Amino acid sequence: METESSTKLKKIVIIGAGGFGREVLWTIDYCNKHSKKFEVLGFVDDNTKLKNSLVKNLPVLGDVEWLLSSNEKNLGCIIAIGDCEKKKKIIKRLEEHQKFNFPNIINPSAHLANDIKLGVGIVIQQGTVISVDTKIGNHVFINYNCTIGHNCQINDFVTLSPGVQLNGGCEVKEEVYIGSGAVTKDDVKIGRGSIIGSGSVIGKDIPEKSVYYAASGILKTFEN
């Protein structure tokens, strides 16, 4: 019989030592209290002022370049960065080296239907509910107390802020950022790279690369 001390823990680093990073560490600690799985080596952050400092009693080991040059093999990486585009760029660089993996961090208090499909590198925070026949892509960050209805599809590199509610049949394309408390009606599609303001009520499809302002309901599109 394996004991906690004899079980090999998964070594991971958290990329991003800001607020998201500290929250992810909190969730990992909570997960470990229920089932000891992870050993967090520290944080990785491109802010050079943080190097060799401590964040929540863990070291900031270096920047992404340091991580790429490290000798660790099969190291788990969690991207704790809200900016969807920046998150994608970092992941693409890590994938090129083929020596990293991306575990899912799911708070035990989240309620997930048995038949949902999950990608990799996903963080699901406390109090979230995800209903049946839903698909979650890679490197999606789902914050506290979100509700995702049946038959939704959330694509890669999406960030959902606290309290987002997606009703049934919605599709969120790649690199979408949805602010706190936003609500969609059923079967809404949100286009790639769009930003939805906090508190928005979305009753129609949102084109790609758009910004939807909550209070005024103004929709603006932008180019690269």
Q: Is residue 3 part of a domain?
A: no
Q: The domain that contains 64 carries what CATH number?
A: 3.40.50.20
Contact 133, 116 (CB under 8 A): yes
Rounded distance between C-alpha atoms, residue 19 and residue 10, angstroms: 23
Residue 219 lies in a domain: no
122 in a domain, yes or no? yes
4 found inside a domain? no
Per the CB < 8 A criterion, the answer to whether 9 and 38 are in contact is: yes
Q: Which of 103, 129, 164 is the last residue of a domain?
A: 103
Please report, for the domain that includes residue 152, its CATH number: 2.160.10.10
State pLDDT tens for residues 40-87.
999 999 998 888 899 999 999 999 998 998 887 789 999 999 899 999
Confidence label for 7 from pLDDT (cuts 50, 70 and 90): low
Residues 58 and 92 in one domain: yes
pLDDT tens-digit series, residues 160-212: 999 999 999 999 999 999 999 999 999 999 999 999 999 999 999 999 999 99
Do 115 and 145 sit in the same domain of this protein?
A: yes
Query: Among residues 217, 215, 168, 216, which one has the least CA distance to residue 189?
Result: 168
Q: Are residues 75 and 90 in the same domain?
A: yes
Domain end marker among 59, 80, 103: 103
Tokens of 22: 């500290």
Q: Give domain status of residue 58, yes or no.
A: yes
CA distance 61 to 13: 9
Q: Are 81 and 131 within one domain?
A: no
- For residue 223, the model assigns a pLDDT of 59
Do 116 and 98 sit in the same domain of this protein? no
User: What Rg value do the Cα atoms of the chain yield, rounded?
Assistant: 18
CB atoms within 10 A of CB 219: 14
Claim to verify: residue 112 and residue 190 sit in the same structural domain? yes
Reduced to 3 states (helix: H, G, I; strand: E, B; else coil), residue 210 is strand
In 91-198, which ranges are E strands? 100-101, 105-106, 111-112, 117-118, 123-124, 129-130, 135-136, 141-142, 147-148, 153-154, 159-160, 165-166, 171-172, 177-178, 183-184, 189-190, 195-196
Domain count, the chain: 2
Q: Is the same domain home to 109 and 192?
A: yes
Predicted confidence (pLDDT) at residue 4 exceeds the cutoff of 60: no
Of the residues 87, 103, 119, which one is the last residue of a structural domain?
Answer: 103
Q: Any idea what DSSP says for residue 149?
A: -
Residue 148 is part of which domain span? 104-212
As a whole number of angstroms, the distance between CA 23 and CA 2 comes to 30
